[in-house]
A and B are shown apart, each in its own frame.
Chain A
Amino acid sequence: MKIQRHDTDDVAVLRVSGKLMGGPDADAFLSVVRQALADGKRHLLVDLGAVSWINSTGLGILISSYTTVRKHEGLLKLLNVNRRIESILMTTKLNTYFESFQDEERALESFRAA
């Protein structure tokens, strides 16, 4: 898994690539999240467009990130979720927590409206 961070206003966009499946990935991901919040970013947009699949540990990483961001009164949303990951989000009912977008501008706009 690799993560690239791009900041826009008070949103940190995290572009993730590879497979989100825990192990050493968890610490790396949460470290980037905490650093973004420490740098004053309020919201996170996690771009999963280059993530081929995710397992339960990867979902745990997203949930831990979500709860961390919520504690800072921010929001975490997802971008470019593929059909396979969407299916796992639906079967675990986590789609009720993770708002998802296919268009980055619309996603960023949704934060401004929040």
Chain B
Amino acid sequence: MPGEIITFSFPSRLELLAVLDKMLEGLSEQLELDEETAAAVTISSIEAATNAIQHGHQRDPSKAVGMEFELERDQIEVRVRDLGPGFDPSLLEDPTDPVNLLRARGRGIHIMRSLMDEVIFEFQNGHGTLVRLRKRLPSHNGTPR
């Protein structure tokens, strides 16, 4: 229901991304998200959670990744929190630059930005990162839902 917040947290283990994926599948059904919105939210949430596990927590399972899902009237917002030191987004290399194309890593944020309407990073003075992923619902993109 609009205004409700669903929270979920899990230890920083990559294999738990499969659990997150299942949870997102159920959540998308519950919220009646269309296929494209569900895919965008799922892929972007998993990208953000992957970064939290690998970069924020260095895969330390004693540290939990926190996630919140909030459905509003016109959009869905996913919030992903970790306890890591953060980073400078302006220093990220462009993964589509020809010299970077065959690197195995470094595309997560680029994919999030391509799938979602807004991707916002908030850093808490080296003591945590909050990523906000926002996706407008189709009825607010000009076509009735």
Q: A residues touching B (Cβ–Cβ < 8 Å)?
A: 19, 21-24, 53, 55-57, 59-61, 63-64, 66-67, 84, 88, 91-94, 96-97
B102 part of interface (Cβ distance < 8 Å): yes
A56 with B102: CB separation less than 8 A: no
Q: Is the CB of B104 within 8 A of A97?
A: no
Given A23-B14, A23-B15, A23-B18, A56:B39 Cβ within 8 A: no
Q: How many residues of B contact A (CB 8 A)?
A: 24
Q: Do A97 and B111 have beta carbons less than 8 Å apart?
A: no
Contact residues in A for B96 (Cβ distance below 8 Å):
92-93
Chain A residues with CB under 8 A of B95: 92
Q: How far is the CA of A102 from the CA of B101 in the complex (A)?
A: 24
Among residues of A, the one whose C-beta sits closest to the C-beta of B40 is A84
6 smallest beta-carbon distances between A and B, as pairs: A60-B104, A23-B14, A56-B107, A56-B108, A91-B114, A93-B96
Complex: A94 Cα to B110 Cα, angstroms: 13
Counting residue pairs across A and B whose Cβ atoms lie within 8 Å, the total is 62
Say if the beta carbon of B27 comes within 8 Å of chain A.
no
Say what secondary structure dominates the interface of chain A.
helix
Q: What residues on B are CB-neighbors of A59 within 8 Å?
A: 107
In the assembled complex, how far is the CB of residue B133 from the closest CB belonging to chain A, in whole angstroms?
A: 14
In the complex, which residues 22-68 of chain B have their Cβ closer than 8 Å to any Cβ of chain A? Answer: 39, 42-43, 46-47, 50
Report yes or no: B114 in contact with A55, Cβ–Cβ below 8 A: no
Give Cα A61 to B104, complex, Å: 7
Choice from B42, B43, B110 contacting A92 with Cβ under 8 Å? B110
Contacts of B46 in A (CB 8 A): 21, 55
B105 CB-CB contact with A under 8 Å: yes
Q: A53-B42, A56-B50, A92-B111 are in contact. Are A21 and B21 (CB under 8 A)?
A: yes
